[in-house]
Structure 1
Amino acid sequence: MDDQEKAPRSARVRAPELTGEGGWLNTGGHQYSLAELRGRIIVLDFWTFCCVNCLHVLDELRELEERHRDTVVVIGVHSPKFVHEADHQAVVDAVERYGVEHPVLDDPRLTTWKQYAVRAWPTLVVIDPEGYVVAQHAGEGHAHAIERLVEELEAEHTAKGTLRRGDGPYVAPEPVATGLRFPGKVLLLPSGNLLVSDTTRHQLVELASDGESVVRRIGSGTRGLADGPADRAEFNEPQGLAALDDGSVVVADTVNHALRRLDLVSGEVTTLAGTGRQWWQGSPTSGPAREVDLSSPWDVALFGGKVWIAMAGVHQLWTYDPADGTVTVAAGTTNEGLVDGPGTEAWFAQPSGLAAAGDRLWVADSETSALRWIGPDGAVRTAVGTGLFDFGHRDGDAEQALFQHPLGVTVLPDGSVAVSDTYNHALRRYDPATGEVTTLATDLREPSDAVVVDGDIVVVESARHRLTRLRLPEEAVRVDGVAHRTRREATEVAPGPLSLDVVFQAPAGQKLDARYGPSTRLLVSSTPPELLRSGEGAGTDLTRTVDLDPEVGEGVLHVSAMAASCDDDPANEYPACHVHQQDWGVPVRLVPAATNRLTLVLAGMP
């Protein structure tokens, strides 16, 4: 252990109070203060429900919560990016949708976010039993380090007599009886029935052609990963569905990081791809499908003889080849953003919906609020959308039209494309022939997918827990436009040279892993690109000087950092290693008298 790791936690920073205009969820109506939680170890999870990395952290925290239930209180601080995420009912829905079993503070105006100087989703902050901040971690993959810290805090404060054990403040909400619960995707079966991923109940549901009558359920309803007959198989928040040439269905089993196969005749479920583990940087990206890790596959579509996978968790598209049982990366670099070009150079941001039509594969790229497509040459092109921080509801020419976090895309009979514009509660239409975007329907509660049935379109209204059938109008109705940019305030920095520092300290008991070369990586870019006169690109040093053009005035710095650390125990021949990774999009405004330094925390203590 080096001197830095031996150093005591010297920064005694009193944790700011938890304040959010939306109030508390999962507490039985009680509004908590930090004083009431004194004596417990608190883990604050700053999250927003659009963010797949935040959803990964929710899953990472489940074991920590279970193992330390009498000492640790996890509190989600919901901090919205999109306008829709500031809607309190949407937060209530998301807490149930993703099975959040700890208190959540709804912070629509980012009050607590600002008090804790948070810059990225997700961020975890640890508060000790005496009410002091002792650690902060940006990104995912930190559960191991936090567990080590929790064990240290338990021992330290047990000895001091300041640890208070007992039941936590979580109060489960009353269950609601509905046929479906936050359904995700829908598939029209050859029989005319509809197969729906009943996501929150971890099942697939076959409905009759009326879209309401339940024919059968596939899956036990218990969160898990198990093959077998329909009544015993287990899923974990399944989403996308696609028909295979052999008559079976492939399922994007999202939180299991797997592809599953449903035999429509027998109801038997088997695993096609994935190990059940989440893919991390450095893991294989091709090979036998059952031996390669995946990351939050959100949708699937058959295109060019292969199953294309919207790999939302790593901002890529992968393919599964049914002929030889292999998977490989098809497009995307794992960097988050909107960059067109050859598949090996393109950037995506949580691709969540796929639809194949002729020689095009359409993609709903949710975090960039974009509609994109891939042609026979494998290149990625954008039809509608600008980037990570521009969204809204605006019809018209594709160059200025806007969506808000769409999750689904459906090819219509005339070759145009219906977009499930999820956070606008609307169904939109893009016509490739004219380049026009129009609105087909509004007042749909979080539509996430749709399918054409006998000239109608059946929409998954996820937050209304139902399928809704609409007539396809001959002419869509255009709506007045509303545009938004990210709600986060810009950071004021000086023009010219800016020192960019990403702070990383290996967690206690670990050290940087340099056995196979540099253990850190930093990638910097900007929107617009002209904001950076120099300093863009990739490197291995977590400190860099960039040059900001004063003529640009404002923009967004995109920073992606990665560090690898391994357990520091000479006696352990095979130490466990961990990858820490985070992407930041930092809105900046250039002000002459402002700071010339920007510090971002990847992992470590304040």
Structure 2
Amino acid sequence: MSARVRAPDLRGRGWLNTGGQELTLAGLRGKVVLLDFWTFCCINCLHVLDELRPLEERYGDVLVVIGVHSPKFEHERDPDALAAAVERYGVRHPVVDDADMHLWQQYAAKAWPTLAVIDPAGYLVASMAGEGHAEGLSRLLDDLINEHDAAGTLHRGDGPYVPPDPPDTLLRFPGKAIELPSGNLLVSDSARHSLAEITPDGATVVRRIGSGERGAPFSEPQGLCLLPSEVAAIAGYDVVVADTVNHRLRGVALATGEVTTVAGSGRPWRSAPAEGRTDSGGERSGWGEAGQDSRTADLSSPWDVVWFDGRVIVAMAGIHQLWWFDPVAGTAGVYAGTTVESLRDGALPDVWMAQPSGLAVSGNRLWIVDSETSALRWIRDGTLHTAVGQGLFDFGHVDGPGGKALFQHPLGVAAAPDGSVLVADTYNGAVRRYDPDTDAVSTVQAELAEPSDVLVTGDGDVIVVESGAHRLTRLAPSAVSTVAGQRHRVERPPATVPPGAMTLEVIFTPAPGQKLDDTYGPSTRLEVSAAPPELLAEGAGVTTDLSRRLVIDPRVPRGVLQVVAQAATCDADVEHAACHLTRQDWGVPVVVSPGAAARLPLILRGVDPAK
């Protein structure tokens, strides 16, 4: 590195996984410290948690990972909710509660997730946004270990992680539930990495399916779909499970409890393979109705599954799309969405979604809750519509007309017999009702603990998966109230941009030992759009240059720049070089201000922090 920048010290509202101890960089001197800026709503942040697990195990005597929780949603500022999330997602390193975004600003983070590496001498040596950095981090850690081992500044030994006491409840952070033909309920017991078949009263576990250990065969499973009997007879299994963290779909035979892999290679989807790149560096890879062998497809955090229009539709939360899966043909493909994280309606190939997490069917409509835009959306006749939801940064608990109502990170949805839709409004701790006939939202029940799904049984009972309370709760569906509530916007500090011309620059440096690869066309790609679109007078679109001249319309005071950047690299100076694709999506809130700097830098991968 050409400059040495002392890392800002750690400060937060509180600490988790340290036995009550407050950590300082001075106290960690001699260790490599990796700060992981995350927020527990963010699917990309959850991906990074899984990418870091092998590094924590491999470098456990020299590496200290510290999660810096910088919240997006209001609910995520609740320290009890953060503590629950740390347990829910199996975070086995210290976490500092950055509720006021102090560390976020000190380290100049602009996206969730962001990683910052601090060397054993206390200097910031790298910063990188997004996921997919495990290999580059491993190379960097090897370099730092060798350098500081030789200098005598590396201290080996145990880190500061202190595990919490193990819990004892019937379920642990259950995700989704379905009703079985027997009348029993099948629940994804997500934090116990298994499925639980439970009696209709929700009180007794009849049996468990899965080992209960992370990864074998389940890892934080979520959505469940009971196949039509005629399809199940051909496929050889009855239930499709969204095995979220394993990036797979599993099939479960109810008679035996046998679990098989029916879709997913186990590799998380990053982008199209290099040979699929277009001349402009795009990622159109020929997917469509033909699809591909489902077992070789790379999936990304499938969160829910439902039977619709003769196949299984998958909420692919990790890449902001819906996919389809044909259990008879054994094929899968993209159903809706472009992978851009935002809210845009229209024909299915071109829509934008943001972490779809719940699915339900009512007649010829497919209902979707899009958690990051706090939206309720629906598909009919090949077109996506939004019933409730205003964008990535607007949320709250407000009833009334659909165009003005607000949710906060909903994860579940169910169709009621009367044609209305029930929404598990997770971060508001409520079940909400949307009536398509009147375009009205009301509150059915509040003061629930992170409801993650709603199930309407064949008898018309409403069962809520109350994930934060580790239980199933029956509701009285007639108890409806109206909540005026509050409107919130994400308090992430916006970037200031000038009216008129400016430069957007995505800074990319290949990981150690890699170089840009243009074997299959241009190695980089940059896509820029805005919400509202009028914010950009010039500069929207796709190019292969990571620097772009933008023109900001002075008549639009604020908005969000949507930026998608990717770069193809390969190993340098080796006989059998492996190729890699780095990609990151940013939704950058901006405020137009005369005199603001005319350059907006975004970091795609580890670079010199002084540049």
**TM tier, shorter chain?**
over 0.9
Partner of 1:372: 377
Give the whole-Å Cα distance in 1 for the aligned partners of 2:504 and 2:298.
33
Partner of 2:280: none
Identify which of 315, 328, 332 aligns with 2:337.
332
Give the whole-Å Cα distance in 1 for the aligned partners of 2:456 and 2:587.
37
Identify which of 214, 219, 225 aligns with 2:210.
219
Encode CA deviations 1:84-109: one digit per residue, 9 max, x unaligned. Answer: 01111111011000000111111111
Q: Secondary structure at the match of 1:472?
A: coil
Q: How does 1:448-527 map to 2 (within 5 A)?
A: 448-453=452-457, 454-473=459-478, 476-527=480-531
Partner of 1:591: 593
Identify which of 179, 187, 190 aligns with 1:196.
187
Give the whole-Å Cα distance in 2 for the aligned partners of 1:113 and 1:94.
19
Encode CA deviations 1:7-35: one digit per residue, 9 max, x unaligned. Answer: xx1120000011111x1100111111110
Partner of 2:266: 276
Mapped contact 1:141–1:578 kept (Cα < 8 A) = no
Structure 1 residue 503, shift from structure 2 partner: 0.2
Aligned length: 585
**AA partner of residue 4 (structure 2):** R
Structure 1 residue 591, shift from structure 2 partner: 1.4
Identify which of 37, 41, 50 aligns with 2:41.
50
Q: Secondary structure at the match of 1:62?
A: helix
Give the whole-Å Cα distance in 1 for the aligned partners of 2:327 and 2:373.
31
Partner of 1:156: 147
Structure 1 residue 311, shift from structure 2 partner: 0.3
**AA partner of residue 369 (structure 1):** S
Structure 1 residue 604, shift from structure 2 partner: 2.2
Structure 1 residue 595, shift from structure 2 partner: 1.0
Structure 1 residue 115, shift from structure 2 partner: 0.4
Structure 1 residue 481, shift from structure 2 partner: 2.6
Question: In the alignment, does 2:235 pair up with 1:249?
Answer: no
Give the whole-Å Cα distance in 2 for the aligned partners of 1:565 and 1:89.
42
Give the whole-Å Cα distance in 2 for the aligned partners of 1:582 and 1:19.
28
Q: How does 1:26-37 map to 2 (within 5 A)?
A: 26-37=17-28
Give the whole-Å Cα distance in 2 for the aligned partners of 1:93 and 1:188.
27
Give the whole-Å Cα distance in 2 for the aligned partners of 1:565 and 1:44.
25
Question: In the alignment, does 2:139 pair up with 1:115?
Answer: no
Give the whole-Å Cα distance in 2 for the aligned partners of 1:443 and 1:54.
27
Unmatched runs of 5 consecutive residues or more in structure 1? 1-8, 226-233
Question: In the alignment, does 2:164 pair up with 1:173?
Answer: yes
TM-score by length of 2: 0.95
Question: In the alignment, does 2:248 pair up with 1:258?
Answer: yes
**AA partner of residue 436 (structure 1):** A
Q: How does 1:192-591 map to 2 (within 5 A)?
A: 192-225=183-216, 234-246=217-229, 248-283=238-273, 285=287, 286-375=291-380, 377-453=381-457, 454-473=459-478, 476-569=480-573, 571-573=574-576, 575-591=577-593
Structure 1 window deviating more from structure 2 (162-171 vs 453-462): it is 453-462
Mapped contact 1:183–1:462 kept (Cα < 8 A) = yes
TM-score by length of 1: 0.95
Structure 1 residue 592, shift from structure 2 partner: 1.1
Mapped contact 2:450–2:468 kept (Cα < 8 A) = yes
Give the whole-Å Cα distance in 2 for the aligned partners of 1:217 and 1:24.
34
Partner of 1:16: 8
Identify which of 117, 126, 136 aligns with 1:145.
136
Structure 1 residue 590, shift from structure 2 partner: 1.3
Partner of 2:279: none
Identity across aligned pairs (percent)? 61
**AA partner of residue 354 (structure 2):** A
Mapped contact 2:374–2:391 kept (Cα < 8 A) = yes
Give the whole-Å Cα distance in 2 for the aligned partners of 1:597 and 1:561.
17
Structure 1 residue 190, shift from structure 2 partner: 1.0
Encode CA deviations 1:338-368: one digit per residue, 9 max, x unaligned. Answer: 0111111001100000001110110010001
Give the whole-Å Cα distance in 2 for the aligned partners of 1:509 and 1:123.
21
Unmatched runs of 5 consecutive residues or more in structure 2? 233-237, 274-284
**AA partner of residue 242 (structure 1):** C
Structure 1 window deviating more from structure 2 (150-159 vs 445-454): it is 445-454
Q: Secondary structure at the match of 1:526?
A: strand
Structure 1 residue 527, shift from structure 2 partner: 1.4
Partner of 1:5: none
Structure 1 residue 489, shift from structure 2 partner: 1.8
Mapped contact 1:455–1:472 kept (Cα < 8 A) = no
Structure 1 residue 399, shift from structure 2 partner: 0.6
Partner of 1:230: none
Give the whole-Å Cα distance in 1 for the aligned partners of 2:266 and 2:606.
29
Mapped contact 2:423–2:433 kept (Cα < 8 A) = yes
Structure 1 residue 456, shift from structure 2 partner: 2.2
**AA partner of residue 488 (structure 1):** R
Mapped contact 2:270–2:582 kept (Cα < 8 A) = no
The Cα RMSD (Å) is: 1.0
**AA partner of residue 167 (structure 2):** V
Partner of 1:4: none
Give the whole-Å Cα distance in 2 for the aligned partners of 1:138 and 1:544.
19
